[in-house]
Copies of this chain bind each other. A is one copy, B any other.
Amino acid sequence: MDEQSVTNLLREKGFKVTPQRLAIYDVLAKTKEHPSAEMIFNQLQEYYPTMSLATVYKTIEILKEIGLVQVLNVGEDSFRYDAIVENHPHIRCMVCKRVDDVEEVDSSDFIEKIKEKTAYQLTGQQFYFYGICPKCMVKH
C-alpha cells in the first residue's frame, strides 16, 4: 500500500497522520523479514533518533486495527509484524531465527477440512513451519 493510501486510511478511521506512523508502516511495507517492534525501532533510529519504542507499539496497535498489518507468533518471546495481510504460511529457521514467507501455496483445501471437523465458526488461521533455511544448511 502506498503512502497516500495509508494517509487516507488513517484519516478515514479517525487517526492523525504523523511522520512516525508513516515511517513505521514504511519499514514494514518494505521488508520481508517480519520484524519485531525492537527491530523496527532499531531500523528507524538512524533517521528518527527521537522515536520511542512506545510509539512503535502504539502505532502497530493502530495499524493492526485498521487492517494494515498482521501479527505473527512464531514461538519467540516477542511478536513479529507483517504488512502483507493476506493470510499465508510462515517458516522460521531454527538456527538463524529468520522468518520467511512460504509463497504460492493454496491452503483452501486444508482450511475446508478443518471447517468440516470443528464446531467453531472459523474467522482466521496461522500456519507456522519450522526448519533449517538454505543458508544455514550450507554452513553445517
Contacts and interface: CB of A to CB of B under 8 A. Distances in A.
A85 interface: no
B124 A126 contact: no
Interface in A27-60: none
A127 interface: yes
Tell me whether chain A's interface is mostly helix, strand or loop, or mixed. mixed
Number of copies: 2
Given A93-B120, A122-B129, A130-B125, A102 B73 contact: no
9 contacts: A73-B73, A75-B126, A100-B120, A102-B118, A118-B131, A119-B133, A119-B134, A125-B129, A126-B127
Given A100-B120, A109-B109, A124-B131, 15 more contacts: A73-B74, A93-B120, A102-B118, A104-B117, A105-B113, A105-B114, A119-B133, A120-B133, A121-B137, A122-B129, A124-B130, A125-B129, A126-B127, A126-B130, A128-B128
